[in-house]
Amino acid sequence: MAMSFYGRRGMAVAPHSLAAESAVAVMREGGNAVEAMIAAAATIAVVYPHMNSIGGDGFWVIRGPKGVAGGIDAAGHSAALASIDSYAKDRGITGSIPFRGGDAALTVAGTVAGWGRALELARSIGGRVPLSRLLEDAIWYADHGVPVTHGQYKRVLAKFDELSPVAGFVDTFLVDGVVPQEHALFKQPRLAQTLRTIAKKGCDDFYRGGLARDNAADLERLGSPIRLNDLQSYRAQLVNPLTIQTTLGRLWNMTPPSQGLVSLTILGIMDRLAQQNPRGLDDPMSARFVHAQVEATKQAFLVRDQHLTDPAFMSVSPESLLAPSKLDAMAAAIDWDRAAPWGKALDPGDTIWMGAVDQGGIAVSFIQSIYHEFGSGIVLPSTGVNWQNRGCGFSLNPSHINRLEPRKRPFHTLNAGLTESSDGRVMVYGTMGGDGQPQTQACIYSRVMRFGLDPQATLEMPRWLLGRTWGNPSDTLKLESRFPAETVARLKASGHDVEMLEAMDESVGHAGAIVRETSGLLVGGFDPRSNGGVAAF
């Protein structure tokens, strides 16, 4: 087992090591953690193209210099022309929204607007690094190329038949007409030029300048309902993250349409279960512990599926769903011996999570996504932007909580974790992986904060997943094969539909974590299931 990584003046973790290096390079030059994360976000969009793009969405949870938590919601809304009626009458689509092509590219990409908001925040707390410097690494990698990772090779190969008919996919992700092999150089010159324009003219150009006009024209030509006025009307929002207090400390996560509420609900329930039965939850590898968290997850998902969508369209406040009485009732509903029924989960999605902490204690938990691998599959010819398909998560059922409506943000699996423990330690943590995100977050939190494990050990230990993630379409309870045989047997005996995975299986997500000790020492870990790394100084 690898040892955790240590730092004193700055640390970053990412599922691709080059993104972590970009972040730490900015901190070495005097930048704060928010500026560093903008650099990492730009780099990861270039070097991990099967997982994310600037054509997607992002969420930020930030601990400021005085310990105050804030957030940025950079989730794009649907086009003004996107409605259930328009999809039925104009597009002949009535069952569900397709995953690929122009019909799927129906929401504005919020990522770059989020960078702009983050830059404003960075300036307000003393940041001075120019945007041109923050995007420098990403531009170089897009121009000169980066080695194709094993994951990129596998995903292009696996999705070729599905995506090759989609406009721009073959021209962008194939090299000389063939799937690029692992370690081959992958270049994106059009994206490099787009990033240069953003560096020179600012993030707003993506929505209200020349880039916006190019993007809108291309999207309309390729069958998307997005128009220029949709881009022009979009703004990333500053928000107050959701928060709960537990016996171990305070936790923050992102507001809806993110499923941050699900992560907090699971941990709120687990805190109550641990108080009820501390001896029964004293081993993170035991069937008792896994069962408790899986059942807490089912309770949290019931709340998610009933209530979570764009908060402007919710009938209850997100904060009310985290009321102590609500969490008490959900904890009381859990049967310690039998698994509750489990239905169909959401469709899987792709994303990346990254974290950064600087010497002053500013901490950033960040997540960026295009939803499925390669998003809608569309790559815009003018700008080289791979556009997301987050909008295919909308329902065409008028009675559904997440029904399609104009200028509405879809429900997001994305969420980013931040906590301050009762003893003063701060941790940023998160993962990719659809339904698995809140589960893995709860797993990381418990192993570090409840059981006292270090981040790297936590991330290398076997994990589980209830439902779907990007690599596996089934809805079973999935366990990596390194779990003890007794744990597996007891879970099956409790009624769980168990499916065994490989020993170190990528489908349970690419996670990461950084802990800032009260002394200022930084301790981090990355997920060996990814191409990730921790960079520090």
Residues assigned a catalytic role: 351
Q: How far is 407 from 108, CA to CA, in rounded Å?
A: 9
Sign of CA dihedral 136, 142, 148, 152: positive
- Are 512 and 417 within 8 A, CB to CB? no
Q: Which helix (H) or strand (E) holds 368?
A: strand 363-371
The set of residues, in sequence order, having a beta carbon less than 8 Å from that of 433 and lying 6+ positions away, is 348, 349, 351, 440, 465, 469, 470, 507, 508, 509, 510
Cα–Cα distances in Å, from 519 out to 12, 318, 522? Answer: 18, 35, 9
Could you give the residue ranges of the DSSP H alpha helices within 348-405? none
- Are 466 and 477 within 8 A, CB to CB? yes
**202 Rama class: left (phi>0) / alpha (psi -120 to 50) / beta:** left
Q: How far is 498 from 481, CA to CA, in rounded Å?
A: 11
Q: Which has the closest alpha carbon to 31: 115, 114, 126, 111?
A: 126
Q: Which has the closest alpha carbon to 76: 53, 102, 108, 52?
A: 108
Burial 55-78 (b: 16+ CB within 10 A, else e): bbbbbbbbbbeeeebebbbbbbbb
Could you give the residue ranges of the DSSP H alpha helices within 94-147? 111-124, 131-134, 136-144
Q: How far is 160 from 173, CA to CA, in rounded Å?
A: 10
- Are 390 and 76 within 8 A, CB to CB? yes
The gap from C-alpha 439 to its chain's centroid, in whole angstroms, comes to 13
Maximum pairwise Cα distance, the chain: 62
User: Structure tokens of 383?
Assistant: 């700008």
Q: Compute the chain's Rg from CA coordinates.
A: 22
